Amino acid sequence: MRISFLLHNAYGIGGTITTTFNLAGALADRHEVEIVSALRHRERPNAALDPKVALRPLVDLRHEKEHPLHLRPARVFPAAEYRHRQYSELTDERIGDHLARTGADVVIGTRPGLNVHLARQAPDHVIRIGQEHLTLDNHPPRLRTELRRAYRRLDALTTVTEADAAAYRRKMRLPGVRVEALPNSVPDPVLPAADGTAKVIVAAGRLVPVKRYDLLVEAFARVAAQYPDWQLRIYGKGEEHDRLRALIARVGLSNNAFLMGAATPMEGEWVKGSIAATAADFEPFGMTIVEAMRCGLPVVSTDCPHGPAEIIEHGADGLLVPVGDRDALGDALLDLVRDGERRALMGRTARENARRYAPAPVVAQVERLIEAARAARAGDRPPPGPPGGDRLRQALVSRGFAARDTAYALASGALRTVRKGRP
């Protein structure tokens, strides 16, 4: 099968890029896979891409930034979309030409504006799958209206959490479009897992206001006051760098808290820690949470919409605290800092529980989604809803399975994949 991903800018940094590269690489073991990047601004991608995956750009900003058509606003890419100012008549033309000539059997869009291109411009023979990497509620009403019109032409739409999939089904009402939660996958670790003995707390992601690294630094100050031999290492880059550096100096943590810059891949840094932490106000999924858990770290996280609560089992593989609560975040960190035995046990549990985000079950779900879309086109089965339907999910929940275990069971296609020990 020939599968093509349509990505905003494969040469940048971000969770959507990482998870697209991960999924494309996993699919490339069984299929012919390419990533088509609408934009390009540098010679090579920041993230590592499996050599089996082809990569090609449509507009190279190093040479075409002043192209006459690129100076005119886009007409197909929706004006209410966050990235609209980066698109133009030139991107409209190049994306449209690419889709008209594609030899792919399946094209997967990776953001709302590109999903609109896909819905409106892909040939009839192409299976059209849109991906949502934020959340429906994150989009302004004007964009939701445009998506509601365009998305009716998709075969399927995936979200990264069950909560957002439910919101799309309830609010968007897209007849004939399968709406499924498809979690982000993380490659199988290659390094030995963390053993919980290092006196290091690790955080990673873009240094932007919504991630609330300021709150994490302030919460960690309580840890450092009682355990001055512990460190906080924050990986990433972004607009908050200078403000965070000033905050670290102001609260007297210059010898304990460090801005480490970006690291790719992060696996080698996760395994140097014993606890992972995130203090975000909003997290559509939580890619770094999964990465940390797969490396054997328990995660202390704010219980923000939507992702953390679907990933972390509070008290078993991590701890959830209220959004914006510095004291609760500090207390949770201290709980794990003080208790090495509990920390190690939770780390082992985290690694085991995070296996549901391995490439194999996610690839299997993508393949089933594609086959279901093909069957729906042929009239072999009703198109809406996830495999197994809501009745199976409700039956599992009624038997006491946690919501995230239910999602895993449905994604992997067999009830036996639900973790042992559940009712």
- pLDDT tens for each residue of 114-164: 999 999 999 999 999 999 999 999 999 999 999 999 999 999 999 999 999
Residue 395 has pLDDT above 90, yes or no: no
Q: What is the pLDDT of residue 380?
A: 56
What is the per-residue pLDDT across 238-257, written as a single tens digit (0 to 9) for each?
A: 999 999 999 999 999 999 99
pLDDT confidence tier of residue 47, bands split at 50, 70 and 90: confident
Upper half-sphere CA count for residue 338 (Cβ side, 13 Å)? 10
Domain 2-181 has CATH 3.40.50.2000: yes
What is the per-residue pLDDT across 230-239, written as a single tens digit (0 to 9) for each?
A: 999 999 999 9
C-beta separation of 264 from 46 below 8 A: yes
Q: What is the pLDDT of residue 265?
A: 85
C-beta separation of 408 from 357 below 8 A: no
Q: What is the pLDDT of residue 284?
A: 87
Residue 313 has pLDDT above 60, yes or no: yes
The rounded distance, in Å, linking the Cα atoms of 343 and 408 is: 25
DSSP H helical segments within 271-379, as ranges? 287-294, 308-311, 326-338, 340-353, 359-378
Q: What is the pLDDT of residue 218?
A: 98
Backbone torsions φ then ψ of 195, nearest 5 degrees: -105, 0
Backbone torsions φ then ψ of 198, nearest 5 degrees: -70, 140
Q: Three-state DSSP class for 108?
A: strand
Asked if domains 2-181 and 200-356 share a fold, the reply is yes
Domain 200-356 CATH (choose: 3.40.50.10790, 3.40.50.150, 3.40.50.720, 3.40.50.2000): 3.40.50.2000
Question: pLDDT > 90: what percent of the chain?
Answer: 82
Distances (CA, A) of 55 to 39, 131, 207, 331: 12, 19, 27, 46
Query: CB atoms < 10 A from the CB of 32, how many?
Result: 16
Among the residue ranges 224-228, 270-274, 355-359, 383-387, the one predicted with the least confidence is: 383-387
Q: Which residues contact 281 (CB under 8 A, 6 or more apart)?
A: 210, 212, 302, 304, 323, 324
pLDDT confidence tier of residue 354, bands split at 50, 70 and 90: very high
What is the per-residue pLDDT across 287-302, written as a single tens digit (0 to 9) for each?
A: 899 999 999 999 999 9
Residue ranges covered by each domain of the chain: 2-181, 200-356
